[in-house]
Each structure stands twice: as structure tokens, then as C-alpha cells.
Amino acid sequence: MKLLADRMSCIDASGIRKVFALAAQLSDPVNLSIGQPDYDVDEAVKEVAVQQIRSGFNRYTQTWGVDELRTACSEYYQRTFGTPLENVMITGGVSGGLFLALTALVDPGDEVLLADPYFVMYKHLVNLLGGRPVAIDTYPDFKLTPDRIEAAITPRTKLLLVNAPSNPTGITMTGDELQAIADTAEKRGIFVISDEIYESLTYDGVRASMAGRCERLLILNGFSKNAAMTGWRIGYAAGPEAVIQAMNTLQQYTFVCAPSFAQMAAIKALQADMTPKLEAYRRKRDLIYEGLRDLGFRVTKPGGAFYIFPEAPGGDGDAFVAKAIRNNLLVIPGSVFSDRATNFRVSFAAEDKTIQRGLDILKKLI
């Protein structure tokens, strides 16, 4: 009898993790691959966590999370976007929320629409559940539009995944652009999952959310990217009661609950002033964008997150990344995030001097 389940043939090891493994073999690599902030968790947030641990708040919480954090997440959206969240539950990071949502919603054969390029987890989770990921080509501007969505809809279409600001492109969407997508999904009876983990890292224009724009909508957000709480595994989901109840049931048998002390610390994180961090990342964005453009790369300026997705010289992203790694520069091949292999992802969540070292290596490579 075979050992592994057939579903394991639907996924492979993350290309990002493969690059991390390579990093361990290099001496002082220039690492522009990792998708986590280059700053640490705020001291005030750490102090709340320490206090909670010392006071004994270390046991299981309710599966859907502590009420104080659920309320704080709703109030955060009210302050930021003028729309409170309803039916909030706390998840094991946005990744945990995504797993619960797709497991609750996707039947074998269901089609899930997602913009190409896409966050690496989307495609693999849909495949794992027996669904069919349908990648919508958004090159060269990386914008998800109603026309592009309409062209991909079939009778089996059930879900649309929206991610703005985007990983890996950093592309943002205006409120009007998101509303047009919401209207299209509403008209065609498609449920929307909006991954908004990077919403606070928006550098140009007004921050926008899908919240309140359509009825059949699930919002996912968390604390890994803005509050640097990557290892704390805290996220949240909000949407229709039936969907949240199903996700909560699944969480009982999987994650059980998010870490107790971290939930209380996350309340403090929601109150933090992001302005200094935002200004620092806007400057880093400009540094990498101008540097790549000056070197002759075809590149679209990111409006958010901390990624940029240039086209590789010659259009072979895999070969170019292999060459970069041989020269001690760690970046991610675009084929990890796309049905195309023409680009590569650079993370500018790094010190300025590291970004400049990366640009110097890229200059030699071309």
C-alpha cells in the first residue's frame, strides 16, 4: 500500500523555501528574498505579551478568539475605512485563515479565480482541496479588472481571490477599482476572498479595502507584515455568519485557537502609528524602483507591500535567478508566483545598504 496521499502530488515544496535553504549555504548573501519586515515587533507590543504570559494567560482561548481583539479588529476597519467588520474570528495568521476559508468553501471541481502573478499559497491550496485554480493573466500592468475577470468565468466558477497590495508585484487598487471588481462578482454570483495583509503598507494615494463593497465577501488580514509579528501567527477573518461559523468549526479540529498571549498583544499593535515605517518603506521602494529602472530593467512601480517584480533580461526569470544566486544575491524566480517564468521577485524589506548591494550585483549580472 502506498504511503503518501494522492493529494500530495498536487503540491510541491515552496520555491521560496528552496531559496531560504540556499541562503543557509552561502556566506553573507545579499538577501532580497524574504517577505518579512526588517524591523522588530514594537516594544510596547512585546511588553503586553510578556505581561500576559507572566499573569498566566497561557491557556486555550475560545476557538474564534478573545472578544477584545475581535472588537478591536472591527474598530480598526471602522477607523481606517469607515466600515466595521462583522462576525470577526481570530486565525493562525492570514495563511491559517485562508486554509480555513478555502476548506469551508471549495468542493472538488470548483473553479477559483486568481490574478496571475499570485501569492504562492493560493494555487496550491486550491489544488490540494480538489478545486481548479484559474489564473487570470494580468501582465504587464498586473491589474485585476472586470474585463479580465469576465473572460475567465465559467459555470464552475465559485470564488475570486483578491490581493491588493499584492504579493509578489506590490500593485495596489483604488477604491473605484475594487468597487468595479466587487460589482462584477456580485453580478455573477461569485464569492470574494480579499487578502488584505498589506493594506497598511500603501505608499501612493488613499488606502482601500474591499470591506463593505459586496455581500458575498470574506476579509482576511493580520499582523505579520505591518506589526512584524510573523512568528506570532495572528490573523483575523470577517464575513458572512455561515462562512465564519464553518471556519470556526474547522478551526476546532485544526489550529484549535490562535496563541493566547499574542492575541492580547495584537490589540496594542492595532493602535500603533505606522507613519515612520510607512515613510521608510516608501523611500526603500523608490530606491529599488529607480535603481532597477536606471539599470534598464522593465519594471512596474509598486504602490504597496514590499515587493517589486521586474522582468528578467532575456525573459528567463529562472535562469537569471540561478545566475544571481551564484553571485551571492538571493531573489525569487517569478515562476514561483506565476504561470509565466519571465520575471523575478525582489523584496525591499531590507536595510538600504543591502538594497544597494543587491543593485550593484544586478548591475554586474546584466
Residue-wise pLDDT for 5-25, tens only, equals: 888 887 776 566 666 666 667
Q: What angle do CA 252, 254, 257 make, to 5 degrees?
A: 60
Cβ neighbours of residue 65 under 8 Å, at least 6 residues apart? 88, 89, 90, 91, 236, 257, 258, 263
130 and 65, same structural domain? yes
Arithmetic mean of pLDDT, 25-31: 85
- What is the domain-level CATH number for residue 361? 3.90.1150.10
Could you tell me where the beta strands, DSSP code E, fall in 290-351? 307-308, 329-330, 332-333, 344-347
247 and 331, same structural domain? no
- 310-351, pLDDT tens digit by residue? 999 999 999 999 999 999 999 999 999 999 999 999 999 999
185 and 100, same structural domain? yes
Please give the pLDDT value at position 28.
84
Verify cis geometry, omega within 30 degrees of 0, for the bond prior to 37. no
Provide the domain count of the chain. 2
Arithmetic mean of pLDDT, 144-161: 98
289 and 249, same structural domain? no
Domain boundary among 249, 269, 289: 269
C-alpha to C-alpha distance for 187 and 214, rounded to whole angstroms = 10
Residue 46 predicted with pLDDT over 90: yes
Nearest to 169 by CA among 347, 352, 355, 357: 347
Domain-embedded: residue 52: no
- 230-268, pLDDT tens digit by residue? 999 999 999 999 999 999 999 999 999 999 999 999 999
73 and 144, same structural domain? yes
Please give the pLDDT value at position 68.
98
**Which helix (H) or strand (E) segment is 45 a member of?**
helix 43-54
Please give the pLDDT value at position 146.
98
Residue 2 predicted with pLDDT over 80: yes
**Which is more confident, 278 or 19?**
278
Domain-embedded: residue 47: no
Per-chain mean pLDDT for the chain: 95
Domain boundary among 269, 284, 319: 269
- Sort strands 191-195 and 157-163 into parallel, antiparallel or unpaired: parallel
250 and 309, same structural domain? no
Domain-embedded: residue 195: yes
C-alpha to C-alpha distance for 362 and 366, rounded to whole angstroms = 6
- 89-135, pLDDT tens digit by residue? 999 999 999 999 999 999 999 999 999 999 999 999 999 999 999 99
Domain-embedded: residue 126: yes
Domain-embedded: residue 48: no
Residue 188 predicted with pLDDT over 90: yes
Arithmetic mean of pLDDT, 64-80: 98
Domain-embedded: residue 117: yes
Structural domain containing residue 123: 57-269
C-alpha to C-alpha distance for 267 and 61, rounded to whole angstroms = 15
320 and 260, same structural domain? no
Helix (H) and strand (E) counts in the chain: 12, 12
283 and 263, same structural domain? no
Domain-embedded: residue 1: no
Domain boundary among 269, 285, 311: 269
C-alpha to C-alpha distance for 256 and 100, rounded to whole angstroms = 12
Please give the pLDDT value at position 149.
98
213 and 67, same structural domain? yes
**pTM above the 0.85 mark?**
yes
The answer to whether the CB of 116 falls within 8 A of the CB of 339 is yes
Arithmetic mean of pLDDT, 85-90: 98
278 and 265, same structural domain? no
296 and 203, same structural domain? no
Domain-embedded: residue 49: no
- What is the domain-level CATH number for residue 166? 3.40.640.10
Please give the pLDDT value at position 23.
65
Arithmetic mean of pLDDT, 48-65: 97
Please give the pLDDT value at position 78.
98
262 and 278, same structural domain? no
Share of the chain above pLDDT 70, in %: 97
- The pLDDT confidence band at residue 51, using thresholds 50, 70 and 90, is very high
